[in-house]
């Protein structure tokens, strides 16, 4: 819709050019915005303001010329009216357009707004990417959820999306861990005993070893040296180091997969940092040939001067490879292998500078040729007291958070009228879907860059902007449609929508007006990498639908037309909410 309005404005400006009121003008400058409040129309534009400055005329004068031109072109097809307020042109769409869109939703159902896949438009999404043997913290949870939602959205919009989990399965932490295993766990044990012990080690044990290492290293800095040595052994292919490394990866991966299963998150690839091990050399060589690295105190660095970016470490002084070099190599591989137009990294804000370095390096290497690289840098997740921290062992483990969510959801379900009718098994199943959905939705409902204060009240609030509230509203739609379907057999369930002259209630109009924005919301969410815009929309739709439901009889409407129309409004709401759910990864519950 936004693009249509831009086009119409462009036509009106062309008329001004013909009348010699306006000279050369770049039509890309025409901005059209969605209005959140209907009293100012569905869309608005600042174009009259922009032109008034340029042409040295009053806004009102320009506005009236544009409006006159549009009205001449449009003849009431698109717009019911166009108003000028505070320098803005406010566009009120005609009911004809609103109904046309409404019919389209009813026809296309949950495919409404989707686009057929275009294999030339490839986008790679790097999300989750936890580190093995370090805790899978709440920040990784945020990356997992936001990244996967973006991946899903791009797919829906016709992109060939590639999801890759850049697992941190290489690096100095493995040296530390191997040292711990060797000296604390496996020391003085026969091979048979070792096997027995290893088979019982969990990811929590590995995390604890890692945390203990750092605690001890504070007292005894020599430990760091031991860790370095073991990592060097690993990189040089030492058999024992490899064996223990593999073991750690397997233990962790099993756990991560369980969490991904619980969250309903998928990847196309888990290429992992270790995948690039044998490809690092070529990139290193290219860096040297292009004279982009310089020796510094035995190490090798990428110097970004004259930019004020600090240098990046490419190789450490002991020859160990770095996260940066592995990332550069991964980037090169993705460019060559997937031929993307876009690569999105969903990684915490604490790596902002790092990604600036990475992107700048790729640019200087001459790799990009217009490929867009984006760091979707998410903010912190805090408890009301402070940040989650991994090293100090203060992490509130993901597992606990997810379990707590399900427990709390179960209490709510047991207290609800419908929920009481479920068997305990059903209650638990619903609680899982509600609890996990609540966390996911909560994370998605913030702009990715904002900090999140973890707040159970908000997460599970049945009357607010929360997953459970939306699930509840969608279940309501299902139940009404279910009852409505019985009426359908009475043959009263049909309305001739081409006759859109019948009187529409303002609450019905509000729903139609929300529907018409949906495609633009998806577009904006994808352009801005901002799933929270979809949350906002879904929440607004749910609120307006509930208001409509409270105020107006649906199944008991006075006329068959009104009844049919309201059922169809329910149906369209149901479709749009279902689309939002699939983009946000919320489970649909028909009863709640
Ligand atoms: N493993 C890293 C961490 O936990 C995140 C990796 C993000 N992706 C990347 N290509 N650097 O900090």
Q: Which domains does the chain have, with CATH numbers?
A: 2-93 (3.30.1360.70), 166-265 (no CATH)
* Ligand 1 mutation pick, 129, 139, 210, 327, max ligand atoms within 8 A of CB: 129
Do 589 and 475 contact (CB within 8 A), yes or no? Answer: yes
Buried-state track 347-370, b at ≥16 Cβ within 10 A, e below 16 = bbbebeebbbbbbbbbeebebeee
Q: Is the CB of 346 under 6 A from ligand 1?
A: no
**Beta carbon of 345 within 6 Å of any ligand 1 atom:** yes
pTM of the model: 0.94
* One pLDDT digit (tens) per residue for the chain, 592 residues: 999 999 999 999 999 999 888 888 888 889 999 988 888 899 999 999 999 988 889 999 999 999 999 998 887 789 999 999 988 999 999 988 999 999 999 999 999 999 999 999 999 999 999 998 776 788 899 999 999 999 999 999 999 999 999 999 998 889 999 999 999 999 999 999 999 999 999 888 998 899 899 999 999 999 999 999 999 999 999 999 999 999 999 999 998 999 999 999 999 999 999 999 999 999 999 999 999 999 999 999 999 999 999 999 999 999 999 999 999 999 999 999 999 999 999 999 999 999 999 999 999 999 999 999 999 999 998 877 654 544 444 445 677 888 989 999 999 999 998 999 999 999 999 999 999 999 999 999 999 999 998 899 999 999 999 999 999 999 999 999 999 988 765 555 555 555 555 678 999 999 999 999 999 999 999 999 999 999 999 999 999 999 999 999 999 998 888 888 999 999 999 999 999 999 999 999 999 8
Q: What is the DSSP string of 110-169?
A: GGTT----EEEEEEEEE---PBTTS---HHHHHHHHHHHHHHHHHHHTTEEEEEE---B-
Q: Is 164 in the pocket of ligand 1 (CB under 6 A)?
A: no
Q: Measured in angstroms, how far is the CA atom of residue 165 from the centroid of ligand 1? A: 9
What is the 274 CA–ligand 1 centroid distance (Å)? 13
Task: Decide: 128 and 165 in contact? Cβ < 8 Å.
Answer: yes
Distance CA 347, CA 144 (A): 9
Ligand 1 centroid–CA 324 distance in Å is 10
Q: How many Å is the maximal CA-CA distance in the chain? A: 94
For a mutational test of ligand 1's pocket, the pick from 168, 323, 344, 355, i.e. the residue with the most ligand atoms closer than 8 A to its C-beta, is 168
- Cα 102 from Cα 404, distance rounded (Å): 41
Q: Is 326 in the pocket of ligand 1 (CB under 6 A)?
A: no
Cα 570 to ligand 1 centroid, rounded to whole Å:
43
> Alpha carbon 245 to chain centroid distance?
32
- Overall residue count recorded for the chain in this entry: 592
Q: Which residues make beta-bridge pairs with 344?
A: 125, 374
Would you state the structure tokens that stand for residue 164, as one six-digit string?
């890759």
* Ligand 1 center to 129 CA (angstroms): 5
Element (H, E) at 418: helix 417-420
Atom of ligand 1 nearest to the CA of 134: 4
Angstrom distance (rounded) from CA 274 to CA 384: 37
Q: Distance between CA 149 and CA 530 in Å, rounded?
A: 9
Atom of ligand 1 nearest to the CA of 323: 11
Q: Are 252 and 205 in contact (CB under 8 A)?
A: no
How far, in Å, is the centroid of ligand 1 from the Cα of 554? 51
How many Å lie between the centroid of ligand 1 and the Cα of residue 426?
38
CA 175 to ligand 1 center in whole angstroms = 18
Start-to-end CA distance of the chain, whole Å, equals: 35
* Strand, helix or coil for residue 387: strand
Angle at 445 between CA 131 and CA 443, to 5 degrees: 25
Partners of 345 in the β-ladder: 126, 375
Going by CA atoms, what residue is nearest to atom 1 of ligand 1?
168
């Amino acid at each position: 819709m936004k693009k249509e309005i831009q086009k119409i404005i462009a036509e009106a400006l062309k008329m001004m050019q013909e009348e010699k009121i306006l000279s050369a003008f770049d039509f890309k400058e025409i901005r059209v915005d969605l209005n959140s409040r209907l009293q100012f129309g569905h869309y608005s534009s600042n174009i009259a303001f922009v032109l008034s400055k340029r042409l040295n005329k009053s806004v009102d004068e320009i506005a009236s010329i544009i409006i006159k031109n549009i009205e001449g072109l449009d003849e009431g097809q698109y717009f019911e009216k166009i108003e000028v307020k505070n320098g803005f042109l406010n566009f009120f769409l005609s009911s004809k357009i609103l109904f046309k869109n409404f019919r389209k939703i009813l026809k296309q159902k949950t495919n409404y707004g989707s686009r057929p896949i275009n294999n030339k438009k490839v986008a790679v999404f790097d999300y989750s990417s936890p580190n093995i043997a370090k805790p899978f913290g709440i920040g990784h949870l945020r990356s997992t959820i936001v990244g996967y939602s973006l991946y899903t959205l791009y797919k829906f919009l016709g992109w060939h999306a590639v999801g890759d989990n850049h697992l941190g399965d290489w690096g100095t932490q493995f040296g530390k861990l191997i040292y711990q295993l060797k000296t604390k766990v496996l020391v003085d044990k026969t091979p048979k005993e070792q096997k027995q012990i290893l088979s019982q080690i969990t990811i929590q044990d590995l995390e604890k070893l890692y945390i203990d290492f750092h605690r001890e290293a504070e007292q005894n800095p020599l430990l760091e040296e031991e860790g370095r040595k073991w990592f060097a052994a690993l990189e040089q292919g030492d058999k024992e180091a490899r064996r223990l490394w593999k073991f750690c990866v397997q233990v962790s991966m099993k756990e991560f997969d369980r969490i991904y299963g619980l969250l309903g998150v998928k990847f196309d690839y888990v290429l992992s940092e270790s995948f690039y091990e044998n490809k690092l050399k070529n990139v290193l060589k290219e860096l040297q040939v292009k004279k982009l690295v310089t020796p510094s105190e035995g190490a090798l660095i990428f110097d970004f001067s004259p930019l004020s970016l600090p240098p990046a470490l490419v190789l450490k002084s002991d020859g160990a490879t770095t996260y940066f070099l592995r990332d550069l190599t991964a980037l090169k591989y993705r460019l060559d292998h997937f031929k993307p137009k876009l690569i999105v990294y969903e990684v915490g804000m604490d790596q902002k500078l790092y990604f600036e370095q990475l992107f700048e390096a790729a640019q200087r290497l001459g790799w990009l040729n217009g490929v867009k690289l984006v760091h979707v840098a998410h903010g912190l997740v805090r408890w009301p007291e402070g940040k989650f921290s991994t090293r100090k062992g203060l992490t509130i483990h993901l597992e606990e958070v997810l379990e707590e969510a399900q427990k709390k959801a179960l209490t709510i379900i047991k207290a609800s009228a419908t929920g009481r009718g479920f068997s305990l098994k059903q209650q638990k199943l619903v609680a899982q879907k509600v609890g996990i959905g609540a966390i996911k939705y909560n994370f998605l409902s913030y702009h990715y860059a904002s900090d999140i204060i973890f707040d159970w009240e908000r997460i599970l609030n049945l009357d607010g902007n929360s997953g459970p509230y939306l699930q509840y509203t969608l279940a309501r739609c299902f139940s009404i449609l279910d009852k409505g379907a019985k009426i359908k057999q009475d043959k009263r369930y049909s309305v001739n929508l081409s006759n859109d002259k019948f009187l529409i209630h303002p609450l019905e109009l509000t729903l139609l007006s929300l529907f018409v924005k949906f495609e633009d919301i998806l577009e904006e969410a994808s352009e801005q990498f901002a799933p929270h815009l979809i949350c906002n929309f879904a929440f607004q739709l749910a609120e307006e639908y509930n208001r409509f439901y409270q105020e107006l009889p649906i199944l008991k409407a006075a006329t068959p037309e009104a009844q049919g129309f309201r059922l169809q409004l329910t149906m369209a709401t149901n479709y749009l909410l279902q689309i939002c759910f699939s983009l946000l990864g919320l489970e649909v519950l028909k009863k709640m």
